[in-house]
Amino acid sequence: MKHPRGALAVVLLCLNLGVAYAEDHHAHAPAPDGRAVLELDPDERAMIQEEMRLFLSGVLQMTAVRGKPDMPAVADAARNLGQKMVHEVPPTLRAKLPLEFRQLGFSVHRDFDQITHFAESLKEVSYSLNQLSDTRQNA
Ligand code: HEM
């Protein structure tokens, strides 16, 4: 693994989320493994999973620093995961998401906007990767 710090952020974020899906559980009741369950339609579930794959793809772009860091590319990847992503969630789906989930989501999107800001101003790849790693503290 060329970029263990970035990979760690991805793995820890996903391990700590504490949320699962199931269509045969009551909303927000705990799953057998203790995670909360979101009751979503298949389309809504697909939308969340798509968002997750966007997260993963953006994080991979940000950590794909080979030799010479491409800070504009880091900033662009982070910007795509920032608050602008929030506006793409339909109100009906948003209404089904527990407060804790939405707060975590907002916090992580805000973190990505911060990463964009410093990638453009400081242009220091190690700073950006540290910020990415710290983002998992919120998740
Ligand atoms: C850098 C940030 C993140 C990355 C890279 C990431 C990545 C992923 C990936 C790859 C999946 C599996 C997607 C699939 O099944 O196709 C996933 C699932 C999930 N993620 Fe994220 N995620 C991130 C942040 C978040 C945040 C902030 C939340 C909640 C606010 C969240 C909630 C979930 C949930 C609920 C699932 C489904 C878990 C399950 O199916 O049991 N993730 N994530």
pLDDT at 57: 96
Which residue among 55, 89, 109, 129 has the greatest number of ligand 1 atoms within 8 angstroms of its CB, and so is best to mutate?
55
Count of other CB atoms within 10 angstroms of residue 24: 6
End-to-end Cα, the chain, rounded Å:
23
Ligand 1 atom with minimal separation from the 50 CA: 16
Instruction: State pLDDT tens for residues 82-91.
Output: 999 888 789 9
Ligand 1 atom with minimal separation from the 105 CA: 30
Instruction: State pLDDT tens for residues 95-122.
Output: 999 999 999 999 999 999 999 999 999 9
Computed over every residue of the chain, the mean pLDDT equals 82
Distance CA 69, CA 89 (A): 32
Q: How remote is the CA of residue 2 from the centroid of ligand 1, in Å?
A: 22
Q: What is the CA radius of gyration of the chain?
A: 16
Cite the beta strand spans of the chain per DSSP E.
19-21, 36-38
Residue tagged 């263990």 (tokens): 4
pLDDT at 40: 95
pLDDT at 138: 65
User: What does residue 34 show for φ and ψ, rounded to 5 degrees?
Assistant: 95, -15
Ligand 1 atom with minimal separation from the 109 CA: 27
Q: How remote is the CA of residue 107 from the centroid of ligand 1, in Å?
A: 14
Residue whose Cα lies nearest atom 28 of ligand 1: it is 105
Q: How remote is the CA of residue 97 from the centroid of ligand 1, in Å?
A: 14
For residue 67, is it left (φ>0), alpha (ψ between -120 and 50) or beta?
Answer: left
Note whether 79 and 62 are within 8 A (CB). no
29: pLDDT confidence band, cut at 50, 70 and 90? low
26: pLDDT confidence band, cut at 50, 70 and 90? very low
Q: What is the pTM of this model?
A: 0.81
10 Å CB burial of residue 62 (0-12, 13-18, 19+) is buried
